[in-house]
């Protein structure tokens, strides 16, 4: 994996953690407007980075969540247990 690809994937993983953490917090604090703004910001940035990654390196997920170029690219990326940081 190229350093640029690993860096982008690390950013995506960090934002996914942030979004999940904020989601869990909002489940118990639904009226926290600041947390909701932070969640929406993280979700927007996450969507942008995922789109950027998938355009450059191929799909992050399968089952219709991301487009794939020809030939089928899902099998080309390293599997999660093959990634070394």
As a whole number, mean pLDDT of residues 66-77 equals: 66
Domain containing 12 equals 3-61+68-82
Which of 12-16, 18-22, 54-58 has the lowest average pLDDT? 54-58
How far apart CA 39 and CA 80 sit, in angstroms, is 25
Cβ-count burial of 59 within 10 angstroms (0-12 exposed, 13-18 middle, 19+ buried)?
Answer: buried
Q: What burial letters (b/e) apply to 2-28, b meaning 16+ CB within 10 Å? A: eeebeebbeebeebeebbeebeeeeee
The model's pTM is: 0.77
Residue-level pLDDT at 83:
74
Domain count, the chain: 1
- Which pLDDT value is given to residue 25? 94
Percentage of residues of the chain with pLDDT beyond 70: 80
Q: What is the CA radius of gyration of the chain?
A: 15
Mean pLDDT, rounded, for 55-75: 73
């Amino acid at each position: 994996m190229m350093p640029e690809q690993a860096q982008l994937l690390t950013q995506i993983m960090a934002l996914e953690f942030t979004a999940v953490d904020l989601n869990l917090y909002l489940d118990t604090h639904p009226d926290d407007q600041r947390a909701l703004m932070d969640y929406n910001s993280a979700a927007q940035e996450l969507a942008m980075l995922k789109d950027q990654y998938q355009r450059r390196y191929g799909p992050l997920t399968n089952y219709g969540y991301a487009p794939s170029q020809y030939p089928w690219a899902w099998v080309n990326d390293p599997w999660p247990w093959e990634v070394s940081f």
